[in-house]
């Protein structure tokens, strides 16, 4: 079952993908886009449908800036606890929203919290998506501090790595300041190590 999931790309090249979960969110998405533009790197954003509904403009900004968007369910539910119908509904509701964005071609799905079962993977594949988790997760939503986020990413990133960071969240008072501050150090540090940033479509 685990071989059906993309954790890291199979490559010897110094190529990696930067991904962001849980957006779009007015308090963090614009700043993330500014940082990515500043350092001229692409990223893949896994969007939550309920956040997408009220922030369609931000999603369009993501795509128009040359980044990629993926499906992260509608309500960020833990799908492994859900019925088959609920799994399908969660993915399809967000898929419909994503496909209404000009230039968007969603190919990838990331299960909330990275939890999945065979039932989840079967449904994802039936709907034409590929499941992606990742191999570098600095636990930035837990607010460990900018320094710790940077250290974890730099220590764990290797050729083909898929880095998981967070954009929006499930509360209106979501705090992504540590992630944003860390991002400004992570990108140039990885570039200095010779890594090239790609979208997931380019990496996988």
Q: Which residues are catalytic?
A: 21, 166
Coil vs helix vs strand at 22: strand
State the Cα angle at 43 between 110 and 64, rounded to 5°: 110
Where residue 57 falls (left for φ over 0; alpha for ψ -120 to 50; beta otherwise) is alpha
Distances (CA, A) of 136 to 10, 43, 52, 66, 106: 15, 15, 25, 23, 22
Other beta carbons within 10 Å of 124: 24
Non-local CB neighbours of 9 within 8 Å, separated by 6+ positions: 15, 17, 159, 160, 161, 162, 203, 204
Q: What are phi and psi of 84, to 5 degrees?
A: -60, -40
Q: Which residue in this structure is represented by tokens 């570098």?
A: 136
């Amino acid at each position: 079952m685990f071989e059906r999931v993309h954790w890291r790309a199979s490559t010897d090249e110094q190529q990696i993908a930067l991904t962001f979960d849980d957006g779009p969110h007015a308090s963090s998405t614009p700043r993330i886009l500014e940082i990515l533009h500043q350092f001229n790197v692409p990223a893949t954003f896994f969007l939550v449908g309920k956040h997408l509904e009220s922030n369609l403009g931000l999603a369009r900004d993501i795509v128009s800036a040359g980044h990629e968007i993926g499906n992260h369910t509608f309500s960020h539910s833990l799908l492994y606890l859900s019925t088959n119908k609920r799994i399908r509904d969660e993915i399809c509701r967000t898929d419909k929203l994503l496909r209404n964005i000009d230039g968007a071609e969603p190919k990838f799905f990331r299960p909330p919290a990275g939890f999945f079962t065979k039932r989840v993977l079967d449904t994802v594949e039936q709907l034409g998506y590929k499941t992606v988790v990742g191999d570098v997760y600095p636990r930035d939503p837990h607010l460990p501090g900018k320094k710790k986020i940077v250290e974890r990413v730099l220590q764990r990133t290797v050729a083909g790595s898929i880095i998981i960071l967070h954009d929006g969240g499930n509360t209106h008072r979501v705090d992504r300041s540590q992630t944003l501050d860390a991002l400004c150090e992570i990108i140039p540090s990885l570039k200095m190590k010779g890594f090239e940033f790609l979208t997931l479509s380019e990496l996988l």
